[in-house]
Amino acid sequence: MKVILLENIPGLGRAGDIKTVRDGYGRNYLIPQKLAEMATLSREKYLERKKAALSKKAQLMFDSAQELKEKLELIALVVPKKSSVEGKIFGSVTSSDIVNLVAEHGFTIDKKRVVIQHVKTIGEHIFHVRLDEGVTADMKITVETMDQ
């Protein structure tokens, strides 16, 4: 199925691109979420005329992602967790924990865009937030021992 992307989608393309995707992905996710539309011949011709406006929109989205990246990288995240004497925490730090911590600072991110390895020890750890195609914020989280 050929679709025209209306938004930047990491791993797929930028707004205004015509991409071939699997039928189910296009029909069940991209089109209902208003991330893409069917690429008919008339829509493709219309797209060629509107290419400049879409590229401007894509550039604005990229610029806002760059700006958000700079703001996110300044945030110091601290999460208290119960731990053993050896410094291993009970459970782990999840992407949901990170989304909640970032929300406390006034930013909204999607938990699907958080890339974190299993954090199971006390200390400082690095994780990534994919904001846009080619824009990834590298953030730090400090895991501290919770008073028991």
pLDDT at position 57, please? 79
Q: What is the spatial distance between Cα 129 and Cα 106, in angstroms, rounded to a whole number? A: 16
User: Contact, 137 vs 73, CB < 8 A?
Assistant: yes
pLDDT at position 119, please? 86
CATH 3.10.430.100 fits 75-145, yes or no: yes
Q: Tens digit of pLDDT for each residue in 125-136?
A: 999 998 877 788
Q: For residue 2, give the 3-state DSSP assignment.
A: strand
Match domain 2-66 to its CATH number in 3.40.5.10, 1.20.120.420, 3.30.460.10, 1.10.1530.10.
3.40.5.10
The beta-carbon contacts of 31-37 under 8 Å, at least 24 apart in sequence, are: 31/3, 34/6, 34/7, 35/5, 35/6, 35/7, 35/9, 36/3, 36/4, 36/5, 36/6, 36/7, 36/9, 37/3, 37/4, 37/6
- Same topology between domain 2-66 and domain 75-145: no
Return the H-helix or E-strand segment holding 43: helix 41-73
pLDDT at position 147, please? 67
In the chain, domain spans: 2-66, 75-145
Residues 6+ apart with CB under 8 A from 17: 4, 5
106: left (phi over 0), alpha (psi -120 to 50) or beta: left
Return averaged pLDDT per consecutive 10 residues of the chain, 148 residues in all: 88 86 94 92 83 79 89 90 87 89 90 87 90 86 81
User: Contact, 88 vs 114, CB < 8 A?
Assistant: no
